[in-house]
A and B are shown apart, each in its own frame.
Chain A
Amino acid sequence: MHELSIAESILNIALCHAEKVSATRISDIHLVIGKLSYVMDDSVQFYWDTIAKDTIAEGARLHFKRVPAELLCLDCSQHYAPDGETLACPNCQSTRVKVVAGEEFRIESIDVETPSSPSPLPLGVEG
């Protein structure tokens, strides 16, 4: 699996956005992952603890918001959640379907501390 590449991508994006607001620490990272994207939460957090070491994201908690899969049948317009076995429409068995939700794979936001916000870190860090 490639949870390591994923953890590295998340770290790069988070560090880049944290720098824009002169953050001194990243405490939390909010991820939105669709059910159709296959990622092991625990493995990503495991790699995180290694790769984020000595960065301002060290120790950050990763929060995974899972979005259920939602499909739209292009033949009978039924909206439904697939049962796992098949993606086919439960109403008319059609396989002409469109994924409406469930493919999400993004960072939604990060919680950071900035020099101006009260911080457990020593002050005097330039912003």
Chain B
Amino acid sequence: MPLNVPIVENILSANDRLAEENHSRIEAAGVFSINLMASPGAGKTSLIEKTLPRLTDKFRVAVVDGDIATSLDADRAAAAGAQASIQINTGGECHLDAVMLHGALNQLDLKQFDLLIVENVGNLVCPADFRLGTHKSVLIASIPEGDDKPYKYPGMYRGVDALVINKIDLLPYIPFKMDFFQRGVEALNQGVITFPVSCSTGEGLDAWIDWLIQNIKR
């Protein structure tokens, strides 16, 4: 008779354990960390470029960039003033996982920093499942993606701690029903803090920067 072995273990438990280890390291170094997630082109790197110049005179910022290929985004972060920028090439994987961030943390002297920004691979599905160990998960939605995205990608919208709505400068040109969008968000993630911004015009960025600074100082 074959034997049934009970396990009851989370399928991604190995990732979750390593995420916790990452978290302890980041926390012990006194660094505030965010995991920036969004579909390709929503403006993750643009937001980093707009954010860094407003922080780097007071805070030391490290950026870890996940992409399938190239180091273009890490180069943009460095040019925008990141004191350290590390590119992770996932070689095809559609998301960062805790192992990859672990490797990047090994290359950083964490104590030298106040803020760690992780730019995840552009993808609105997979990154939601792989915890990295950062303090907060931030989703960037953008106007040209359409107002139905919370309904179509509930997994991503459900799990995040903050929502940036980027490219609001395009609202006059694109049909985007903000109340329909926000009802979808509310149903998945009630009361999530939301920052409508434009990385092109700079509108709305003050509130986002304030939120970051509050969290860094805590």
Contacts and interface: CB of A to CB of B under 8 A. Distances in A.
Given A36-B155, A108-B7, A113 B14 contact: no
A117 B2 contact: yes
A23 to B, nearest CB: 7
A114 B3 contact: yes
A71 to B, nearest CB: 10
A1 B188 CA distance: 22
B204 interface: no
Interface residues of B, number: 33
A14 to B, nearest CB: 8
A117 B1 contact: yes
B28 interface: no
Contact of A107 (B7, B94, B129): B7
B93 interface: yes
B154 interface: yes
A113 B2 CA distance: 5
A106 interface: yes
Contacts, number: 99
A12 B155 contact: no
Contacts of B4: 109-112
Contact of B5 (A96, A110, A118): A110
Interface residues of A, number: 38
A113 B7 contact: no
A117 B3 contact: yes
Contact of A112 (B5, B10, B93, B95): B5
A96 B12 contact: no
Interface string A4-31: 0110011011100110110100010001
Majority secondary structure of chain A interface residues (helix, strand, loop or mixed): mixed
A36 B184 CA distance: 16
Nearest to B150: A86
A111 B15 CA distance: 24
A12 B99 CA distance: 15
Contacts of B190: 95-97
Given A1-B94, A2-B129, A9 B14 contact: yes
Contacts of A2: 93-95, 126, 129-130
B6 A109 contact: yes
A9 B12 contact: yes
Contacts of B14: 9, 12-13
Nearest to A119: B2
B186 A31 contact: no
7 closest Cβ pairs, A-B complex: A95-B186, A88-B187, A2-B126, A86-B187, A109-B6, A95-B190, A95-B187
Given A96-B190, A105-B12, 15 more contacts: A2-B130, A5-B97, A9-B12, A13-B9, A13-B13, A23-B3, A86-B151, A86-B183, A86-B184, A107-B11, A108-B8, A109-B4, A113-B2, A117-B3, A118-B1
